[in-house]
A and B are shown apart, each in its own frame.
Chain A
Amino acid sequence: MARHRAVLSDATFHCEVNEVGNRRQQQQQQQQTDGNDGIMSRARSEEDKIEVVTDEPLEGNVLSSVEDQFQSGPAVVGANVSFSQSFRRWSSNFGRSVKNNKRTVYNKTIRLMPSRIQKTLSIDGDLITTSASDVDHITMELGQREQLMEDNPIAEQLRIETIKSIAHKISTKRAIREQLSQTVNRRATRAKSIGLLRRYRYSAKLYAARTAKLLQSVVTNFELFYGSMKQIEGHFGSRISAYFKFLRRLLVLNLVLLLFIVSFVVFPQLLAGSDTVGAQETAFHLRDLFTGEGYLSDSVLYYGSYSNRSFTLVPGTAEYSLPHAYFLTITILSLATFVVVSVSMGRAYRISFIESSATVQNILTHKIVCSWDYGIANAKAARLKHATILNELRDYLAERNRAPAVVGRWQRLRADALHTAAHLTVLAVISAVGACLWALLVRFGSTDHFRTWAALYVSVVANGTLGAFGYVCQLLGRLEHYRQTATQLNINLLRHFLLQLTIVGVLLAYWLTRPHPPTVCWETLIGQELYRLLVVDFFIAIVLQGAIRGVRYLLHTQYGSEGRKREGTLAQLLLTPPPFCIETHSLGLVYNQTLVWFGVLFAPLLVLLVALKLLLTFYINKFELIYLCQPPVRLWRSSQTQTLFLVLVFVSLFGVLLTHGYLIMQVPVTDTCGPFRGTQYMYQLFMQGILKLREEHLFWRVFVYITKPAIIGGVLLTMGVATYYLRAKSRAQIAKVKLLKELLCMEAKDKEFLLANLSKVARGKECTEHAQQQLAERIELVAGARLNGTADKYYTDPCATWRYEDSPRRAVDEHPLDGSSCSGYQRFEDDEQLRMRRT
């Protein structure tokens, strides 16, 4: 393989010299006839360099053409070596892979595809983007890949994918594809026919690929809210649309859950008819929609009204056991959601935290390159974005220029004390809220069924505190100054989340520990309470706060000019247009989702409620954003925030699953209602009914053994050791990266030293043809030595060390023609020109 590589590179080397040399001669002559075009500042064009230095376009014609050829030699060496070097890098990486499965081939071909081939060949200074040689070169490269050139459908797919990822025009790609298929056809005519088994495998894979594509196109066809998302993205950028995407994802999740629940649990129950003992025919009041009581308490909304028998839905078929269906559906759906959420969270975490952990060193570059949001389609949003970028850059400069704050010991102590005080305050507030809620529940929860609005007290208090807590946190944030806004916002987020957890936890603890008479269906009670919480949350968080924002907006339009006059006062705070707070809304979504997951065991149709709620929330938020609120001026890194929210969702889901596990195992079921009547614990139904196990069974004993604390402790310990090992490995790699960077700098210095020496040596010699030849040889030797050298690491680094020939350090600047991209070789050549002209 190595020999093949060397041969190929030499071949291209030679043909390139001739080809480019001829081309340059022609162009040189043409440009002479066009006359001196004036001093153009295109640094890379050799002819221009000649024009600039000599200022006599016509006289040095013959000489310059010779020089030109001579000059094109080493320059082509440079350019061509880059080409063959990048090709070599690609092919060496490819050859190294042992497994030739599709994924490896994909990674090695497409991801490392040297798209820079065309660049390095166009030394004329013009970006001649489509030329026949490009197509040929790329085709030749691709033709080396065995996997791509086979004549089966899989290789064809791979070819299509590779061609898609080439960064050229469509016409170029078309030409490449033509040539490749011609080559493939030519080679394939000599191949034998494939066997039957292989043909079946190919067709199976082809069908699988086709169905996957069809599914994908169906999914993208039904992209919900496409028009709204486009509008939001165009007006406000991708960071705000990330929030709406989160909302849409939750909505889709809920709809899928709803589909399964309705089809397996609710629908059969509806068909079988109600079977509650002593059904009371209560009339339907509008109030019942809010409190979840009355008419609704006996409907399929709640756990209590599900029967525990199995019945036949369609006469003649097997029996459909409703309790089993209920249990299995809920548990399988919860586990599936958990898996999906954890996988997406893991992926998002990897992308936004681990892979970009090195960006702490590249903050400014990252800011410059990634700051403009290409999705903005609106002049006002563009102006806002320009202003945001300006602010960020100014902040950055101020931060850098500010003298490093010598933080005295007292000040640090004071800052720490302030932080601790704030944390303690928050904790105190949260515990106070918890205690208050508990007291309320004890006071009001003693009655079993509420027929009046009194049922709503608990929910109103809970949600009201959530809303008010937001303002408290803002106030606290103003008092304690964190150096970085990111920390501030993360801490805010965590505080809110803690409050939510506390509220949910208190409610849970109360319902589970309260003693209740056996006639009362405690599961239904929990379901009702959750229903009330959700409904009230909708009204308080969305409707009420939306109204507040509307009022603020109206005030702003009426009295806004007055507010601007009084800077910094409370009046000004009130009279500015309300900000659109993404974190608050996202936290609200997480809260909702937690409640739903918890409640799905007790009230299956809560999912429908939440789906409706999310739909309405989407439209209300969109309305607020477009008409009422002002989008936040300073946004921090959105991908990390999105990941944070996913983590919060994961954590709450995990907590919910644990609670469900506890409930299923340890809490006795009510005897009079629900699908699990007759068994003491819920899981017993599963164990006895489905697995048909008894207590003495082997599996049971194994299961009990496994769940002993010692075993679980051992498993956790192993996981801890594995985590430590991986962390040590990652640290070692970080150190390695640092070493490699230093190596790069050293090599650049090497090159500079070598070039300086070469020019010194060359200057000392006589100027003859022979000298020129020798010089050319020497350069070839050096370049050749580099080419065939043992130092293979030159080829593995793709950075501009070869480019270095063209743009050395500024310190070596002797002919500062146009500053930035003077080429070292060219300058060296210019020296030659000058010398040769003088002689």
Chain B
Amino acid sequence: MGQVKSQFSEDELQDYEDLTYFTKKEILYAHKKFKNLAPEKVGHNKNAKLSMSKVLEYPELKANPFGDRICKVFSSSNDGDITFEDFLDMMSVFSDAAPKSVKAEHAFRIYDFDGDDMIGRNDLKQVIQRLVDYNSDLGHNDIDQLINNILEEADLDDDGALSFAEFEHIIDKSSDFINSFRIRL
């Protein structure tokens, strides 16, 4: 434990504590978990950049169908490679202390596959397919019907896609979102 602590100075820890929703102890714990992904590389440089495939070995991300989207959203270089700061950012957003608005924002970015700031039909189609793990039991007609129903329910101004405001409106009304959009460190 002393070894890990000596890698970070008190100032750096305070800095991270101010910028994320973690305490100092949790930040050190997060670093430990980050290091477990690639011990030698992180041992050399505590803010090392790990490739997406390495990061996707983290258990919660591996089991998650949106794992690659999560990496892309939180990666500072936008190609899926994660540094420790990105990882800390990710865990902070997924922690219990993050408010609903921050979580809603990031959930929107994750589900917006093509990055056009709207969740359109293609995005919804991808989301549904990934949720059922590309199971062939849910055919194209079924998916289209689901998408139509979603847009009917949630698209308030009838433009064929969900904007962030509409998305946030749904999230505000649901109490289960906070429980499910959470990764314990």
- Measuring CB to CB, which residues of chain A are less than 8 angstroms from any residue of chain B? 42-44, 110-111, 113, 115-116, 119-120, 125-127, 129-130, 160, 163-165, 167, 169-171, 173-174, 177, 217, 220-221, 229-230, 233-234, 238-239, 242, 351-352, 355-356, 358-359, 361-366, 368-379, 381-383, 386, 389-390, 393-394, 396-397, 400, 637-640, 741, 744-745, 747-748, 797-801, 803-804, 807-810, 819-821
Contact = CB atoms under 8 A, between A and B. Distances in A.
Interface residues of B, number: 80
Nearest to B156: A744
B174 A129 contact: no
Contact of B145 (A111, A163, A233, A397): A397
Nearest to B128: A368
Contacts of A220: 23
A377 B174 contact: no
Contacts of A375: 60, 180, 182-184
B63 interface: yes
Contacts of B99: 110-111, 165
B54 to A, nearest CB: 17
B7 interface: no
A819 B114 CA distance: 13
11 contacts: A115-B105, A164-B21, A165-B101, A165-B102, A177-B19, A356-B174, A366-B174, A369-B107, A372-B65, A383-B133, A820-B120
A242 B21 CA distance: 22
B159 A808 contact: yes
B111 to A, nearest CB: 8
A800 B163 contact: yes
A416 B56 CA distance: 54
A400 B145 CA distance: 10
B157 interface: yes
A382 to B, nearest CB: 4
Interface string B104-128: 0111000100111110111010011
Interface string B130-145: 0111010110001001
A372 B153 contact: no
B166 to A, nearest CB: 6
Given A164-B19, A809-B158, A371 B131 contact: yes
Contact of B20 (A119, A170, A351, A368): A170
B184 A173 contact: no
B67 to A, nearest CB: 10
B157 A238 contact: no
B158 A748 contact: yes
A819 B115 CA distance: 16
Contacts, number: 243
Contacts of A120: 117
A370 B178 CA distance: 9
A377 B183 CA distance: 9
Given A165-B101, A217-B25, A362-B170, A799 B157 contact: yes
Contacts of A370: 174, 176-177, 180-181
A42 B181 CA distance: 29
A229 B138 contact: no
A146 B44 CA distance: 44
B154 A362 contact: yes
B146 interface: yes
Given A369-B107, A369-B177, A170 B88 contact: yes
A383 B76 CA distance: 31
Given A169-B89, A238-B182, A807-B161, A376 B64 contact: yes
B172 interface: yes
Contacts of B45: none
Contact of B25 (A165, A221, A373, A801): A221
Given A359-B174, A366-B176, A821-B118, A382 B76 contact: no
B59 A378 contact: yes
B62 to A, nearest CB: 8
A800 B118 contact: yes
Given A355-B173, A365-B153, A366-B176, A177 B76 contact: no
B66 interface: yes
B161 A821 contact: yes
A499 B175 CA distance: 31
- Identify the interface centre among A125, A362, A379, A747: most chain B CB within 10 Å of its CB: A362
B27 to A, nearest CB: 11
A396 B115 CA distance: 29
B160 A44 contact: no
Interface string B41-66: 00000000000000000011011111
B179 interface: yes
A169 B60 contact: no
B150 interface: yes
A142 to B, nearest CB: 15
A44 B116 contact: yes
A621 to B, nearest CB: 19
Nearest to B137: A390
A275 B165 CA distance: 71
Contacts of A819: 121
A51 to B, nearest CB: 18
B85 interface: yes
Closest 9 CB pairs of A and B: A800-B163, A377-B59, A382-B63, A167-B105, A799-B165, A820-B120, A748-B157, A386-B133, A798-B165
B180 A374 contact: yes
A396 B142 CA distance: 11
Contacts of A229: 184
A355 B100 CA distance: 14
B128 to A, nearest CB: 7
A276 to B, nearest CB: 51
B10 interface: no
Nearest to A823: B116
